[in-house]
């Protein structure tokens, strides 16, 4: 989707209203988030606005945990101000929101590979892939450096599963399964996601299934899933030196490929940020937080800056 001047004005007004409301909130007293537009009838009642939980301490150079969640195929201008996404729009004023965030290509699979490994690995489609041998990626980097990594895929039937599809699970949305230097134990179904968030690995990825990632069932279904599954972690992260990153694999097929990316949690300064970022920038930021070298095109990308309260 090409972002027109009209769309940009509407987007700026929408975000401006959200952040203006946040600016009036006292940091010492948590307040309810401003009410987003009313949800459609199909939106779950669980999709309530998040409550601002102020960080008790700024994020250290190395957060205890980072959770990255990837949704599907929605443009930035489609999601911001969308009354079918009350929860995600409520998150905007408690997050660092990137107004110039872009995917790197179309279709889905090479974007996931770029985010995880700094390269599309020469993949240009969504076909089922053979495993890559010994190629650098975030999971193997973290493990080799003494940290931990796990990817959780909703609908995946078993740990280490290498099949192409299973119900609403699609391997094209699971990049860590493609690298033979990421152990099978780091490739988990979402049912293995711990209820005690302190037991999470250093960095984890969550990919909802083909319905809840908005690919098949649309924004309302994904937003309701996010409210139910992500809000408890978000509140916990704000008080436990941890972060939540939400992004999208690509837009809805437009040439601009502009997507919504936000970061929230301990030590994050909420606001709008115009730094141009892409999947390589997000990967470089994760590497930078843990003192890891940039891999692939992430090596030349600038990590996200200016959003930290430190």
> In this predicted model, what pLDDT tens digit does every residue of 243-279 receive, in sequence order?
999 999 999 998 899 999 999 999 999 999 999 999 9
What does the pLDDT read at residue 310? Answer: 74
State pTM to two decimals: 0.85
Lowest mean pLDDT among 52-66, 106-120, 173-187: 52-66
229 Cβ contact partners less than 8 Å away, ≥ 6 residues apart: 206, 208
Neighbours of 299 (CB within 10 A): 14
- Residue whose entry in the numeric block shows the structure tokens 């193997």: 140
pLDDT exceeds cutoff 60 at 26: no
Residue 8 has pLDDT above 80, yes or no: no
Please tell me whether residue 263 adopts helix, strand or coil conformation: strand
Rounded mean pLDDT, 175-186: 98
Handedness of CA 1, 14, 45, 267 (dihedral sign): positive
Could you tell me the residue ranges of all domains in the chain?
Answer: 48-300
Do 14 and 63 meet the contact criterion of CB atoms below 8 Å apart?
no
Q: How large is the average pLDDT for residues 112-118?
A: 99
Nearest CA to 71 among 115, 18, 130, 26?
A: 115
Q: Is the predicted pLDDT of residue 16 greater than 90, yes or no?
A: no
The two tokens of residue 147 are 């940290």
pLDDT tens for each residue of 275-304: 999 999 999 999 999 999 999 999 999 999
Q: What mean pLDDT, rounded, does the chain reach?
A: 87
Report how far residue 183's alpha carbon sits from residue 195's, in angstroms, rounded to the nearest whole number: 22
The CATH number given to 48-300 is 3.40.720.10
Q: State the pairing for strand pair 169-170/165-166.
A: antiparallel
- Asked whether 95 and 228 are in contact (CB, 8 A), the reply is no
pLDDT of residue 254: 85
């Amino acid at each position: 989707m090409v972002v027109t001047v009209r769309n940009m004005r509407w987007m700026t007004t929408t975000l401006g209203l959200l952040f203006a409301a946040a600016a009036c909130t006292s940091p010492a007293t948590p307040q309810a988030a401003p009410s987003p537009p009313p949800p459609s009838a199909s939106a779950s009642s669980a999709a309530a606005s998040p409550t601002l939980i102020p960080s008790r301490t700024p994020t250290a150079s190395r957060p205890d945990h980072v959770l990255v969640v990837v949704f599907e195929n929605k443009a930035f201008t489609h999601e911001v101000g969308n009354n079918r996404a009350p929860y995600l729009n409520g998150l905007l004023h408690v997050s660092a929101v990137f107004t110039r965030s872009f995917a790197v290509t179309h279709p889905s699979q090479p974007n996931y590979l770029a985010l995880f490994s700094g390269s599309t690995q020469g993949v240009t489609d969504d076909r089922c892939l053979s495993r890559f041998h010994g190629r650098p990626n975030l999971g193997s980097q973290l493990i080799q450096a003494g940290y931990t990594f796990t990817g959780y895929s909703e609908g995946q039937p078993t740990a280490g599963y290498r099949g192409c599809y299973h119900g609403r699970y699609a391997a094209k949305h699971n990049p860590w399964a493609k690298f033979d230097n990421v152990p099978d134990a780091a490739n988990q179904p979402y049912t293995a996601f711990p209820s005690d968030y302190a037991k999470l690995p250093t960095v984890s990825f969550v990919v909802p299934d083909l319905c809840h990632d908005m690919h098949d069932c649309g924004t309302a279904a994904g937003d309701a899933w996010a409210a139910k599954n992500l809000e408890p972690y978000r509140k916990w992260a704000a008080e436990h030196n941890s972060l939540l990153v939400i992004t999208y694999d690509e837009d809805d097929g437009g040439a601009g490929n502009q997507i919504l990316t936000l970061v929230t949690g301990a030590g994050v300064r909420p606001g709008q940020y115009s730094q141009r970022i892409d999947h390589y920038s997000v990967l470089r930021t994760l590497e930078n937080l843990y003192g890891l070298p940039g891999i692939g095109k992430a090596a030349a990308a600038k990590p996200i800056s200016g959003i930290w309260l430190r």
